Amino acid sequence: MPVPAKIGNGDDPHNNLYWGAAYGVKTFLSKADGWQKLGCEKNISDTILERCQFAWKDKLTVTADAYRGSRIDQAMLDFMQQAATPSNATKREMVVFIGHDGLMDAQNQPIIEHFPKHARHDKQAVVLACMSDEFFSEHLQAAGSKPVVTTFSFMAPEAYVLEAVARGFANQVSEAELRNSAGTLTPNTSVSQSKPEKSVFGANSQTKPIKLSLR
């Protein structure tokens, strides 16, 4: 669905729909209850325009990267490489992708050939993007990862969904509870018009679970 040019500009993270807009990752986590912005660094590379770290209480640290829109192929490849890398034995990790489902676009299909393969290691993965179960689940499983939150229809990948899943991960809730939290409006925002439905995340489905990506 088309969006206004200002928030759809992938070279402008300050205003971008997924990063600097009201429900973008940087803006939302910077203001959400219980969260602290630890710091941000701009121009990590020509591909990564900004990197921020956030902490939720003393339970979780989130490292979030804002990719240049025209390099969504690299963003997906980096995500898959993170998913294929087993977690450090001393800590729990989840990898999350949030934004446009680039695998729905024909021009990005060649990147699939470079997706890594790995023996099963069960690092949890989440993909908050339209139809992500169809486009990402099998690749994540081939990378050894365990997709726990993915989508079964179109959705608005806004950061309050990510925030709810991140808190659930920090509290070590079950996979079913993670999916349920993704499909329920978080209490620290008054948004109602873009509330995700539980069916988007397969909470009422017997099919494969949803996926998500945090670094």
pTM of the predicted structure, to 2 decimals: 0.87
Whether residue 204 has pLDDT greater than 70: no
Instruction: Kindly give, in sequence order, each residue whose CB lies less than 8 Å from that of residue 187, ignoring residues fewer than 6 positions away.
Output: none
Task: From residue 167, give the alpha-carbon distance in Å to each of 183, 186, 193.
Answer: 14, 10, 23
**Length of the chain in residues, anyone?**
215
Quote the CA–CA distance of 193 and 67 in Å, as a whole number.
27
Q: Mean per-residue pLDDT for 102-130? A: 96
Structure tokens at 44: 């990590």
Q: What is the pLDDT of residue 101?
A: 97
Whether residue 42 has pLDDT greater than 70: yes
Q: Mean per-residue pLDDT for 56-61? A: 94
Q: Mean per-residue pLDDT for 41-64? A: 96
Q: Mean per-residue pLDDT for 106-130? A: 96
Among 138, 94, 83, smallest CA distance to 116 is for 83
Q: What is the pLDDT of residue 173?
A: 95
112, exposed or middle or buried, with CB in 10 Å at 0-12, 13-18, 19+?
middle
Whether residue 175 has pLDDT greater than 80: yes
Mean pLDDT of the chain: 87
Among 99, 103, 159, smallest CA distance to 129 is for 99
Task: From residue 62, give the alpha-carbon distance in Å to each of 14, 164, 167, 185, 209.
Answer: 19, 13, 11, 20, 22
